[in-house]
Amino acid sequence: MPSRDIESALKRWTQAGLIDPALAARLRESETSAESSINWPVLLATIFGSVTLGAGILLFVAAHWDELSPGWRFALVLALVCLFHAAAGFFADRSPRLNVALHTVGTLTLGAGIFLTAQIFNLQEHWPGGIMLWAAGAVGAWVILRQWPQALLAALLVPGWLIGEWIVASERHGNGDWPLAVGLAILAISYLTAVRLHDEGSYFRQSLKWIGALALFPSLMWALDARHENYYYYSRQAHIPAHLAVIGWAGAILLPLAVAVVLRKSAAWMNVVAAAWIFVLSLLPAPWRHASTDSAGVFILQSLGPLFWEVLGAIGLIAWGLKEGSKGRVNLGMAGFALAVISFYFSELMDKLGRATSLIGLGVLLLVGGWILERTRRRLIQRVQGATA
């Protein structure tokens, strides 16, 4: 939407008969496209300027922290939070981007203020409660301001609070990381698929997509390993009580799927399929956790089973990207396919071959396999571009 001054001027001119509604609509569209275009030098200067400003103030405060009384420390922390939001309000009509940046720094400062306040007054309480208060502040800022960075902070802090609560609840029990790893992997998929064909202009959804893309492979590897990690390292600890396990698994599966429903509506059924795939993946033996064996049946279960399931997931992600016109998902699917094959080669084949033979095989795999995958990837990207043109 164009600024308030331009919008009010267009209404006055239309009511006075100076311009017709069609011309007003064209002017409004022109102003909207001009304001939505990204000026990268200004945007980067705003981001780095806000970060350096916040870092400089925090360093100044840290240098004089020991000289201040607890009352002055608390007043200073509170003043910093108010200062950034007040400065953002001053630039609301003068520089919308600076307004958004300063509000974001103000919400980030809120988190520092919460934990510094706990440190000032020596509050040894439930530490996830601090993240909960920070998340509540981000949610409140988004409700009031309707700015996408506030929504993005809330999308990070609310899961962070729930993760903290689960860590505290399960810290004295074994097998607590398993539902947490599965839940994070499902949430990564929900964030990755937040952008659909008609959502390319949403900064919030684009940011969620990048967060999901960065978290996808680490979370999947943890989901594959978490159950076995707990078995090896926490076998002497008591397992999670049944009621706590039900709460953990319900939250790990249902909450990320609820996010997918909010973001994708009826198309979230694909996320349900992905969640089922992730859960089955977490049940499979991690290739790096088992010893090599000569038994054909055990080899199929421990080695070929995970490879087949990983390749199936990579193909499914590629098909998902083709269906919804997402080049990123196609690229991630191709990368997942390559990682599955390479990890299988390193964990199952390389140590069974001679040194020279294993290196020759690895070279052939990388060169020939990489060439085939790149040709396939380009063809698939061309199909996506043709579907979205």
For the chain, give every domain's residue range: 172-283, 293-389
**AA identity, residue 90:** F
Q: Which residues of the chain have pLDDT under 50?
A: 1-2, 35, 37
Q: How far apart are CA 159 and CA 107, in angstroms?
A: 17
Provide the pLDDT for residue 1: 45
Cβ neighbour number for residue 308 with a 10 Å cutoff: 14
Provide the pLDDT for residue 65: 65
Distant-in-sequence contacts of 377-380, Cβ < 8 A, 24+ apart:
377/330, 377/331, 377/334, 380/318, 380/321, 380/322, 380/330, 380/334
CA nearest neighbour of 212 among 139, 146, 289, 264: 264
